[in-house]
Each structure stands twice: as C-alpha cells, then as structure tokens.
Amino acid sequence: MTIQEASEHYQIPMKILREYESWGLCGVVKKVMGAWQYDDTDLERLSMVMTLHDVGFTSEEVEAYMRLLLEAEDSGLTRLNMLNRKRKAALDDIHFRERQLERLDYLRHELQKKTEGQE
C-alpha cells in the first residue's frame, strides 16, 4: 500500500505518515519505484501513532514512545509512566475547565438575577 493509499483508506493525514517515515521506524516498509509500501505491521504502528496524537502527545513524545516500543524490550514501565503523566495532565486540565464552568455559571446566575429585576 502506498502512502497515498494508506492516507486515503485509513484517513491518516499525510503529515503523520511523513513523520512516521522520517523516524526510520518503518520495519518492513519497502521503497518500490520511489513510493513507500506499507504492510500490516506498519498500519498497526500507525494506528498507535494516531492514538497517541489523539490523546495529546506531541510529535516528539510520539516518536519517543514509538522508539521505546520498537527498540527497547523492557520499556513497559517507561511507557506506562509517559501515559500516566499524560493522563494526569488531562485530568488537571479537566479540573481547571470545571472550575471555569463553575465561575461562568456563577456570573451568569448573578447577571440573570439582576436582569430579572429589570423586567
């Protein structure tokens, strides 16, 4: 499967595919007539890359995670720590947003009380 076919069939942005190729992690990817050919293993790896991007990993973090996954057999604990840090950051953001909503609701409530008295 060429890069264009992979992009279209799996809706993977070309930017992600080019990143993946630039990392040199394409195991059995072959260059045929100037075009990359992706196999099932590459598509599984790309699925992981997309998931990591979707959960908020930066390109650098994705590359580091994938290098650990593919090059270091005993990297499970390190990768788990990466995921735990990202999860904590997401929870911190959620809690911050919840506090923002509470403040917005308070301001809206106060304003509604004042405008009801003006009717």
Q: What pLDDT is recorded for position 52?
A: 94
CA–CA distance, 63 with 59 (Å, rounded to integer): 6
For the chain, domain boundaries: 1-71, 74-119
- Judge if pTM exceeds 0.85: no
Q: What pLDDT is recorded for position 73?
A: 86
Q: Is 40 helix (H, G, I), strand (E, B) or coil?
A: helix
CA–CA distance, 58 with 45 (Å, rounded to integer): 16
- pLDDT digit string (tens) for the chain, length 119 residues: 778 888 888 888 888 888 887 887 665 456 666 667 787 888 888 889 989 999 999 989 999 999 999 888 899 999 999 999 999 999 999 999 999 999 999 999 999 999 887 76
**Tokens read off for 82:** 């990466």
Q: Could you tell me if 20 and 26 are in contact, meaning their C-beta atoms sit under 8 angstroms apart?
A: yes
Q: What pLDDT is recorded for position 110?
A: 94
Dihedral pair phi/psi, residue 37, rounded to 5°? -120, 120
Q: In the CATH scheme, what is the code of domain 1-71?
A: 1.10.1660.10
